[in-house]
A and B are shown apart, each in its own frame.
Chain A
């Protein structure tokens, strides 16, 4: 329950400040524009590049938002208040994860529409694309929220976050790109399902580990 209160509070703060959301959406628009020009105008090229562009843009924008989720506490110097709340501290991680996950899904849905328009991704398969987005987005946010919390007190946190997160999320991004490619090119459902299963396993394993490890890593 407290995790939900924290996530909703962060959403309210983000909505009032809008700094993180505006940066992430602007970044996505710029990446799509540059990639669209680089791969275009040939339709086959764009169609092949679309899934990769989608997940790379989402991964970078997601890191910006992950950093933002914890930066709210640093900017306001309120991290101590969170750490002084009673009980074990997993819920702080879960709250931040929930906040980031909601933003990632909204941003991912927006990105899907843009990629569909520019890179010929078939929106007719939107239920499958959405499932891939949820599974891939969950794996990504689980890792990003954890490492953003781990580095929150460090001065070089923004640089470190990218260095720590990207090697860890490589399997998630690869599986998500493969699943999206399969959907874009009408692959057999069983092939797409195997990538979904892989993403599901990553999500469960990473989430369990991060929840267990978080109380130890957030201590000063």
Chain B
């Protein structure tokens, strides 16, 4: 039987004296698209960052691809995280950002592939990211996801700032990743969640 892509068991996380996650458990199987729903401040982004191994919980365990999250090394390259807003180097162009990101992940790509991915998401080449709108940054993040081919995609409010065309492309990318792996997305938009997710996980004050 295939191991779950994500297994979060009894996780507690606090910042200062404030507990953000309290005894939270979540399992995501391969092929699933799980939407984390809930108002601001309930810990959706923190949970995504815990799953991404970027922050360590005070208590509880996180396993990814069947292995303890802290023991991941090569498998970390299978995780794709799209933050809100997505992070890129302002002084580099979109295609340069894509090339650099993939080269540092140990999977270098040619300029042509970067440009193809940008064309697919409707971005013009040669423009510094500093001149991008929020929606364009989201589209560039989609292009990076397409090129990276993650087995676990973590998305933080991915639909915000995207126009209808961008949302359709996002839904296609999510479906594409879910064919080979799993997707966890944090969102306020129940309509979007209903459209793309196979399961919703309602969060309330850290649980």
Contacts and interface: CB of A to CB of B under 8 A. Distances in A.
A5 B103 contact: yes
B202 interface: no
Nearest to A219: B56
Task: Classify chain B: how many residues form its interface, as a range.
Answer: 20 to 34
A186 interface: no
B74 A77 contact: no
Nearest to A18: B91
Nearest to A2: B104
A9 interface: yes
B89 A76 contact: yes
Nearest to A83: B54
Interface string A74-101: 0111101111111110000000000000
Given A83-B54, A85-B106, A78 B74 contact: no
Contact of A80 (B54, B91, B103): B54
Interface in A190-220: 219-220
Contacts of B92: 12-13, 16
A13 B100 CA distance: 12
Contact of A88 (B73, B78, B87): B73
Interface in B88-103: 88-92, 100-101, 103
Nearest to B77: A86
Contact of B105 (A9, A72, A77, A85): A85
Contact of A86 (B88, B89, B100, B106): B106
Contacts of B54: 80, 83-84, 220
Contacts of B56: 219-220
Contacts of A86: 73-78, 105-106
A81 B103 CA distance: 12
Contacts of B103: 2, 5
Contacts of B81: 80-81, 84
A129 interface: no
Contact of A85 (B49, B77, B85, B90): B77
A147 to B, nearest CB: 21
Contacts of B78: 86
A5 B83 contact: no
Interface centre among B55, B74, B101 (most CB of A within 10 A): B101
Nearest to A77: B87
Given A6-B104, A85-B105, A80 B73 contact: no
Given A9-B100, A16-B91, A78-B89, A87 B83 contact: no
B106 A80 contact: no
A161 to B, nearest CB: 22
Given A85-B76, A86-B75, A220-B54, A76 B104 contact: no
B186 interface: no
A84 B78 CA distance: 9
A82 B104 contact: yes
Contacts of B75: 86
Interface string B43-75: 000000100111110000000000000000111
Interface of B: 49, 52-56, 73-79, 81, 83, 85, 87-92, 100-101, 103-106
22 contacts: A5-B103, A9-B89, A9-B100, A9-B104, A16-B91, A72-B89, A76-B89, A77-B85, A78-B87, A80-B49, A80-B52, A80-B81, A80-B83, A81-B104, A82-B104, A84-B54, A84-B81, A86-B78, A87-B74, A87-B77, A219-B56, A220-B49
What are the 4 closest A-B residue pairs judged by CB atoms, nearest first?
A86-B77, A16-B91, A77-B87, A220-B55
Interface of A: 2, 5-6, 9, 12-13, 16-17, 72, 75-78, 80-88, 219-220
